[in-house]
A and B are shown apart, each in its own frame.
Chain A
Amino acid sequence: MFKQLKTITGGLLALCMPVTAMLATSQTAKAADPTEVRIMWYSDGIEGDVMRDLLDRFEKQNPDIKVTLDRVPYKTVVEQLPALLDSGQGPDLARVTDLGGLSRHYLDLRPHLKNAKYFDDNFASSLPWFRPVNGAKDGVYGVMTQLTLTLPLVNATLFQQAGIPMPGPKATWDDWAKASKAVADKVKAPYPIAFDRSGHRVSSLVLDMGGKFVDGDKPALIDDGFKAATKMLVDWHNNGTMSKALWGSVGGTTYRGATEEFANAQVVFYMSGNWQFTQFAKTVAKNFEWQAVPNPCGPGNCSGMPGGAGLVPIKTTKNPQAVARVVEYFASEPVYEEFHARTLFLPAHLGIAKKGINYQTDDANVKKSLAIAVDQVAQTSPVAFRLQGYEHNRILFNATISRVNQAISGEMSLDDAYTRIQADIVEGLAAKGIKLQ
């Protein structure tokens, strides 16, 4: 079918214009000498610059390899990359966040690595996230470029102004909700609690309330923990602990953070994650004191959700050897450490995490928060790790966020939302060839 299409369209176009001739010339005129490795890379902040800097050094050491870093919008990674991969036109490496969803396109680097054991030893917790269901059980299908962990950020100054003590390290979600509401009422802050509008963030609440998400290799999202957590969210929106101004202002699966509100000291308790530290160092500066706090507890856990972005080699690459060398360089201890020290990301490298990173920041709030985040990674629940490694977790996240939001904005009841969530999951999995029931 595809071949025929090609000839038909090709024939039609050849009739039309001499454009095809131009294309032919533009395609042959490619530099021949060093092997080229292309990386598709999106950036939240400065990590693209840091990476380019590190790659420049790599190129100097390896004159036979030229690494091109295509800095693309995040939208390209989500919307275009899957189409490119399906049609066999992917880059050699890509920085992606849907680790499981794209995994059938990843290349197992193990045969091409000089020292595969180094990866086994240092990336043991994150390597399974990349492995395709039918892939090699010990395969090295990628390396994290950034480990994220959901955790609350708290405006400490507002607590001080209200004269209310901050709940301690093992406090429950209820404690935090009550305290935040009390603080907000006293200092007239409009948002006692804010959550990023993201299924991933909501999942950490579900996790703490005892949700299990997955049963074996099948999703089992709607359980008592899930119901308790989502009811909590709806109640919070109804009693003013959370404001509809944040989640209510967008729809679908659109992400909506509360960074601006937090930077303007309007949020008491902000459920987000460690990736916010760098920008708050800039936007909050010395206007108030803020810090990350340990994840609140529920009947199930006191854990955040891990996540992040990984650098993955693509199966269709013509130069697996060169790709392996780039990945090995990036994952090597000094380079990996420098990358994280400069970007203030959490490392997925167990050795470095244990040793501790000397982060390049002077901001007292950031320093304090980074320490808590690193400690929280160690306390992350195995359920959370399993969910992060579940290939279809994004289907659960997306269904959760769009439907629960519809319940919050009053378009449907929470029970209807559960039915819809289940239907969305069945539909999504069916498209991937998995039948439920």
Chain B
Amino acid sequence: MNPNAHPPSDSATPTAAQRFARGFELAYTGLMRALEPPFAAIQKRIGIKGMAYVFVAPNMIIFSVFVALPMILNIWYALTGSNRLMMEERPFVGLDNFSALLDCKDYLDVNSCKQDRFWRAVHNSVLFVALQVTAMVALSLVTALILNGKLRARGFFRAVFFFPVLLSPVVVALIWKWILQRDGLLNALLMAGGGERVAFLHDASWSFFWTVFVSVWAHMGFYALILLAGLQAIPADLYEAAEMDGTPKWRVFWRITVPLLLPTLLVVVILSLIRAVQAFDEIYVLTGGGPGTATQFIVQYIYETAFANQVHLLGLAAAASLLVAVVLMVLTVLQLRISYHGKTS
């Protein structure tokens, strides 16, 4: 976009990528320039300060219509019963859906709950998010650090680690199902090596492990890419100076790499947290929540209650989603509070 941002082409004939970038730049400049007069006219009317509202408007309108409004409508669903979709056809039931969800004799024993599946899903989700985010951040960090080093065929390795990101969730699940099933590739390899067959998908703990593994496998490349970019942004002269001083390498890592990478790491943590909470597609296709309910997570519970089961219990699903949304909203705001406090102090 900024002509200075591009490296000068080293040969007379531009590569396809360079031509693409050039074309993109032209289109961008043309469009933006064309939009200048109307926005300038608006600015003349309402002043610089008022322009803030103009900039926010498109996003806020779409957000209100397609995100906020549905969330508000969800409240109506949560307060009504029946399997009807149209709101005017749904009888009002008050807080019945909520009390059904929260009806537990003992919150630690899921079998004592009226909606045992909801609580199983809550338990599973908490564990999943904790494990998955930890593994995701750790592995993508190690990968980024290694890919940042001087390597032979670095471009190839970077592409390889990014590759699974391109696959659709259904395909990801499919590949791993074939690898992990009773007579899948992994068991074939184990048995060829003289080992015993392992029940990867019908043993609850293994199954849980693989849901974490597969979702890390599928998305790690994206976070490694972000971290890699963060690492490359650390000025090389800092390292050179440290080396001239003879600073031990581990000290360089803790004193230079870690603090300068921290902001990027925070972004990665937040993004991966979001994705972990929302994890659904791959796992749904891979295990369907099984064995039993060992890998049933909260989004899947809501989805199944609202859609997949023959009677669409929209009210119950809406109530569950509201509970989850409220918890997530509070957690998000708290988390950001804490991280901002950490920054300012």
Contacts and interface: CB of A to CB of B under 8 A. Distances in A.
Contact of A431 (B83, B88, B111): B83
Q: How large is the interface on A (under 10, 10 to 19, 20 to 34, 35 or more residues)?
A: 35 or more
Given A12-B61, A244-B199, 12 more contacts: A5-B73, A5-B87, A79-B308, A83-B85, A249-B182, A249-B207, A250-B288, A254-B288, A405-B290, A430-B81, A431-B312, A433-B82
Contact of A252 (B87, B296, B310, B311): B296
A254 B290 contact: yes
Contacts of A16: 57-58, 61-62, 65
B186 interface: no
Given A12-B61, A249-B181, A405 B292 contact: yes
Contacts of A1: 87-88
A59 interface: no
Interface of A: 1-2, 5, 8-9, 12-13, 15-17, 78-79, 82-83, 86-87, 98, 101, 190, 244-245, 248-254, 256, 261, 264, 266, 392, 394-395, 397-398, 405-406, 409-412, 416, 420, 423, 427-433
Given A250-B291, A251-B288, A12 B65 contact: yes
Contacts of B86: 2, 86-87
Contacts of B182: 190, 245, 249
A244 B202 contact: yes
State the main secondary structure of chain B at its contact with A: loop
Interface in B289-345: 289-296, 300, 304, 307-313, 315
B202 A248 contact: yes
Nearest to A416: B111
Q: Which 6 A-B pairs have the closest CB atoms?
A: A251-B290, A254-B288, A248-B202, A251-B289, A86-B85, A394-B310
A423 B117 CA distance: 13
Interface string B76-120: 000001111111100000000000000000000001001010000
B187 to A, nearest CB: 10
A250 B199 contact: no
A101 B83 CA distance: 11
Contacts of A420: 116
Interface in B246-282: none
Interface of B: 57-58, 61-62, 64-65, 69, 73, 81-88, 111, 114, 116, 181-183, 199, 201-202, 204, 207, 287-296, 300, 304, 307-313, 315
Contacts, number: 138
A253 B309 contact: yes
B304 A252 contact: yes
A245 to B, nearest CB: 4
A92 B312 CA distance: 23
A395 B312 CA distance: 11
A253 B293 CA distance: 11
B51 to A, nearest CB: 17
A165 to B, nearest CB: 29
A250 B289 contact: yes
Contacts of B313: 427-428, 431
Contacts of B292: 248, 251, 405-406, 409-411
Given A101-B310, A249-B181, A431-B81, A9 B69 contact: yes
Contacts of B58: 16-17
A335 B303 CA distance: 40
Nearest to A429: B311
Nearest to B114: A423
A40 B287 CA distance: 29
Residue in A98, A409, A412 with the greatest tally of chain B CB atoms within 10 Å? A409
B291 A251 contact: yes
Contacts of A410: 292
A112 to B, nearest CB: 27
B183 A98 contact: no
Counting chain B CB atoms within 10 Å of each CB, the highest count among A5, A9, A86, A251 belongs to A251
17 contacts: A2-B88, A5-B69, A8-B69, A16-B65, A17-B58, A83-B85, A248-B199, A248-B291, A249-B181, A249-B202, A249-B207, A250-B287, A251-B292, A253-B309, A254-B290, A397-B310, A409-B291
A392 B309 CA distance: 12
B21 to A, nearest CB: 28
Contact of A13 (B61, B199, B202, B307): B61
A411 B110 CA distance: 10
A249 B111 contact: no
Nearest to B180: A249
Contacts of B291: 244, 248-251, 409
Contacts of B73: 5
Nearest to B81: A431
Contacts of A430: 81
Contacts of B207: 249
Nearest to B73: A5
Contacts of B88: 1-2
A431 B292 CA distance: 25
A82 B84 CA distance: 9
Contact of B311 (A86, A248, A254, A428): A428
Contacts of A251: 287-296
A253 B207 CA distance: 17
A252 B307 contact: no
Contacts of B315: 431
Contact of B310 (A98, A264, A266): A98
Contact of B87 (A2, A12, A256): A2
B65 A13 contact: yes
A411 B181 CA distance: 22
A8 B287 CA distance: 41
Nearest to B89: A86
Contact of A409 (B61, B204, B311): B204
Contacts of B111: 412, 416
Nearest to A101: B310
A238 B82 CA distance: 39
A254 B315 CA distance: 22
Contacts of B296: 251-252
A255 to B, nearest CB: 9
Contacts of A13: 61, 65
Nearest to B181: A249
B290 A250 contact: yes
A263 B318 CA distance: 43
A248 B61 contact: no
A256 B111 CA distance: 25
